[in-house]
C-alpha cells in the first residue's frame, strides 16, 4: 500500500458513485482503458478485488468500501486543514510560545487571558523562567516572544516597551523605618538586604541604585532567586528588599508589606515585549504582539494610589 495515491482513491470513489468505468473515466478525463488499468494495478497491489460486476453495474466489495471510507476521511481532514489555515491567516488560530521572566509571572496570565478572550482559537504556551533562561530560549528560537524588563543586547532583537515597571523597597509593617519620610540610600545601607541572584534584572537595578555604598546582606541562608522567598522573608522581619512593584501589589493592598519612602524611588523602568529581529512571526504571534503593545499596560497590577511613578 506504499504506492497508494489520492488519484487512485478518487478513481475508486468515482466508479462506486457512477457505477461504470465509462462514466467514471469521462468524469476523471481519462480513457476507460487507462482507468481499468489503474484499478487493476491497485487490486494487484492489495491482493483484493475492489468491485463486483453486477447487472446493476460495478458495486464496491468490502475492500472497495474500505478505500471509499479512506477517501472520505482524507476529505474531512483536508477540509479541517483548510479551515485551520484560514484561521491562521486571520490570526484566529495557531500557537504562540511566550517566554516570561519570573518577575512578570504575576501579571502575564492576566494579559494572556485578555488576549484569549479576543482570540479563542489561539493556544498560548506560557514558559516562565529567570532572565537567563528566557534570553536563551529567545536566542535558540524556542519561544516566539518574551516579556522582560531588560532586553538582551548580545544578539539582534526587536523590543517595544508596553508599560511602566516601577521598582520599590519593601519592608515588614512593623519595621523601624516604616512610616518615615525621605529616607536616604545611606540609611537603607544600614539595613540587611535580601537581593535577587546575579544576572537578574532586579539585581542589576539594585546594584546601580546602591552604587558606592557598602551593603549589608541578610544573615539567612535562603535561595534569593525567588521573588516569593524574598517577600516571605521580608514579611518575617529578616530584611528589606528592592523589588518590582508589580510582584507585591497584593501584599501591599492587604497590609502584609509596606513601601519605604526613599529618595529617588520608585525607580522607573519599563516592561518590554521582545522577539528576535530575524524571526518571522506567525499571524497568531503577530496578533499577540499587537495586543501586548496596544493593551498590555491595562493588565498590569494596580499599585497603591500614593505611589508616584516618575515619567520616563
Least confident segment among 128-142, 201-215, 229-243, 277-291: 201-215
Q: Which of these ranges, 6-20, 43-57, 69-83, 254-268, has the smallest mean pLDDT?
A: 69-83
Q: Is the pLDDT of residue 226 over 90?
A: no
Crossing angle of the two packed helices 21-28 and 6-18, in degrees rounded to 10: 130
pLDDT band at 221 (very low <50, low <70, confident <90, very high): very low
Considering 35-44, 47-56, 162-171, the range whose residues carry the highest mean pLDDT is 162-171
Percent of the chain whose pLDDT exceeds 70 = 87
Query: Which of left, alpha, beta for 19 (phi over 0: left; psi -120 to 50: alpha)?
Result: left
- Which band of pLDDT confidence, cut at 50, 70 and 90, is reported for residue 121? confident
Residues 111 and 14: their CA atoms lie apart, in Å, by: 52
The pLDDT confidence band at residue 215, using thresholds 50, 70 and 90, is low
The answer to whether residues 48 and 61 touch, using CB atoms and an 8 Å cutoff, is yes
**For residue 45, is pLDDT > 90?**
no
CA neighbor of 246 nearest in space, from 299, 287, 182: 299
Q: How many helices (H) and strands (E) does the chain have?
A: 11, 11
Give the per-residue pLDDT at 84: 62
Mean pLDDT of the chain: 85
Structural domains in the chain, sorted by start: 6-69 (1.10.10.10), 93-163+270-301 (3.40.190.10), 165-268 (3.40.190.10)
* Least confident segment among 83-87, 157-161, 271-275: 83-87
The residues near 107 (Cβ < 8 Å, ≥ 6 apart) are 246, 299, 300, 301
162: helix, strand or coil: strand
Stated pTM of the model: 0.65
Q: How far is CA 144 from CA 163, 206, 250, 299, in A?
A: 20, 29, 30, 20
Categorize the per-residue pLDDT at 305 as very low, low, confident or very high, splitting at 50, 70 and 90.
low
> What cell does 101 get?
521572566
Tell me the pLDDT tens digit for each residue of 271-300: 999 999 998 888 889 999 999 999 999 999
**Ranges assigned E (strand) in the chain:** 51-54, 57-60, 94-101, 122-129, 145-148, 157-171, 192-193, 216-217, 241-244, 258-259, 267-276
Q: What is the pLDDT of residue 205?
A: 84
Contact 241, 194 (CB under 8 A): yes
Residue 311 predicted with pLDDT over 70: no
Given a cut of 80, whether residue 136 has pLDDT beyond it is yes
pLDDT digits over 162-204, tens only?
Answer: 999 999 999 999 999 999 999 998 888 888 888 877 777 778 8
- Contacts of residue 4, defined as CB under 8 A and 6 or more positions apart, other chains included, come to 42, 45
Spatial CA neighbour of 190 closest among 200, 175, 173, 202: 175
| In the predicted structure, residue 102 carries a pLDDT above the cut 60 | yes
Amino acid at each position: 500500500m506504499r504506492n497508494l495515491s489520492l488519484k487512485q482513491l478518487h478513481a475508486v470513489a468515482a466508479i462506486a458513485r457512477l457505477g461504470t468505468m465509462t462514466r467514471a473515466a469521462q468524469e476523471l478525463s481519462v480513457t476507460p482503458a487507462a482507468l481499468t488499468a489503474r484499478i487493476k494495478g491497485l487490486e494487484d497491489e492489495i491482493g483484493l478485488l475492489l468491485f463486483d460486476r453486477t447487472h446493476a453495474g460495478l458495486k464496491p466489495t468490502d475492500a472497495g468500501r474500505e478505500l471509499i471510507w479512506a477517501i472520505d476521511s482524507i476529505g474531512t481532514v483536508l477540509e479541517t486543514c483548510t479551515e485551520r489555515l484560514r484561521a491562521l491567516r486571520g490570526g484566529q488560530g495557531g500557537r504562540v510560545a511566550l517566554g516570561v521572566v519570573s518577575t512578570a509571572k504575576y501579571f502575564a496570565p492576566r494579559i494572556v487571558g485578555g488576549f484569549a478572550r479576543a482570540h479563542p482559537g489561539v493556544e498560548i504556551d506560557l514558559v516562565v523562567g529567570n532572565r537567563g533562561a528566557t534570553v536563551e530560549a529567545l536566542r535558540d528560537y524556542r519561544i516566539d516572544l518574551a516579556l522582560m524588563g531588560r532586553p538582551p543586547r548580545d544578539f539582534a532583537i526587536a523590543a517595544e516597551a508596553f508599560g511602566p515597571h516601577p521598582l520599590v523597597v519593601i519592608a515588614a509593617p512593623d519595621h523601624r523605618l516604616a512610616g518615615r519620610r525621605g529616607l536616604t540610600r545611606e540609611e537603607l545601607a544600614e539595613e540587611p538586604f535580601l537581593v535577587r541572584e546575579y544576572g537578574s534584572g532586579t539585581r542589576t537595578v539594585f546594584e546601580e541604585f546602591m552604587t558606592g555604598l557598602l551593603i549589608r546582606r541578610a544573615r539567612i541562608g535562603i535561595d534569593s532567586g525567588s521573588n516569593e522567598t524574598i517577600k516571605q522573608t521580608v514579611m518575617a522581619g529578616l530584611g528589606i528588599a528592592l523589588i518590582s512593584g508589580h510582584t507585591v501589589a497584593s501584599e501591599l493592598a492587604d497590609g502584609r508589606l509596606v513601601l519605604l519612602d526613599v529618595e529617588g524611588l520608585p525607580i522607573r523602568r519599563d516592561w518590554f515585549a521582545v522577539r528576535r529581529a530575524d524571526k518571522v512571526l506567525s499571524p497568531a504571534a503577530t496578533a499577540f504582539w499587537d495586543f501586548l503593545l496596544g493593551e498590555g499596560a491595562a493588565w498590569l497590577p494596580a499599585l497603591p494610589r500614593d505611589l508616584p511613578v516618575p515619567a520616563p
